[in-house]
Amino acid sequence: MVPYGMSGIAHRLCAAALVIAAGAAHAQAPADPAVAYLGRPIYSEPGAGLQMPPGCQMEPTWRGRINNADLEVWVVSCQGETRSWVVRRSVIEMLPGNQARLRFQVTDERRWPGESAGDSASVQCIGRSGGDGGFVVIGARWRANGAELRLTSAAQVLRADTATQKFVPATLAQVECTRHPDREAMMRRLQQR
């Protein structure tokens, strides 16, 4: 509120300060977990790496490629909420040294409140017939088997359909899932450097 009786210049300066303060407060507000990323592009630059949306994070083992397709499945954590994405990968520009600028487009998004990205929501699965990728397990439970963790059960299994670029239901009988905690920790350390 601008005080009554201020001169024209002081009035404009006070109004401008209020607008700037309101803009700063809005810019610092936490991102809304209800934000959908469907259709949004995500870029990857060789020097800067993957440029995730603000408030979203993904570890290297939360990402799985689909054979013979420009699609990937990602498990991400955005503002503390676990999500799974089907993303379409495209090359923007080839650079020297076998590097490229990439663009990823989110073509399907599912939300999994209460799940833990990389643990109870995982992409560490392949198809039992042929080793295809593109599977996501939700509500996963794991059992130690030496240095590995093997999937014992899951509440839901999804597969990325290459024709529709969307998730479709799958069954536990279609997948074989194994996590390697030592490799996950090593990849996490490498990413933080």
Residue 91, pLDDT above cutoff 60: yes
CA–CA dist 130, 111 (Å, integer): 28
- If you average pLDDT over every residue of the chain, what do you get? 85
Residue 114, pLDDT above cutoff 50: yes
In a domain, residue 176? The reply is yes
105 phi/psi in degrees, rounded to 5: -115, 125
**What integer is the mean pLDDT of 29-45?**
79
In a domain, residue 14? The reply is no
**What integer is the mean pLDDT of 67-96?**
95
Q: What is the dihedral of CA 57, 62, 65, 66, to 10 degrees?
A: -120
What pLDDT score was predicted for residue 13? 37
HEC states along the chain? CCCCCCCHHHHHHHHHHHHHHHHHHHHHCCCCCCCCCCCCEEEEECCCEEECCCCEECCHHHEEECCCCCEEEEEEEECCEEEEEEEEEEEEEEECCCEEEEEEEEEEEEEECCCCECCCEECCEEECCCCCCCEEEECCEEEEECCEEEEEECCEEEEEECCCCEEEEECHHHEEEEECHHHHHHHHHHHHC
In a domain, residue 66? The reply is yes
Residue 162, pLDDT above cutoff 90: yes
In a domain, residue 138? The reply is yes
Query: Within a 10 A sphere around the Cβ of 4, how many other Cβ atoms?
Result: 6
Residue 85, pLDDT above cutoff 70: yes
Count of structural domains within the chain: 1
CA–CA dist 186, 193 (Å, integer): 11
In a domain, residue 47? The reply is yes
What pLDDT score was predicted for residue 129? 82
From 22-26, 112-116, 168-172, the region with the lowest mean pLDDT = 22-26
In a domain, residue 112? The reply is yes
In a domain, residue 183? The reply is yes
In a domain, residue 28? The reply is no
- What percent of the chain stands above pLDDT 90? 70
What predicted TM-score, i.e. pTM, was given to this entire model? 0.79
What pLDDT score was predicted for residue 33? 56
What pLDDT score was predicted for residue 193? 72
Residue 170, pLDDT above cutoff 70: yes
What pLDDT score was predicted for residue 82? 97
Asked if residues 75 and 83 have their Cβ atoms less than 8 Å apart, the reply is yes
What pLDDT score was predicted for residue 25? 38
What domain range includes position 76?
41-192
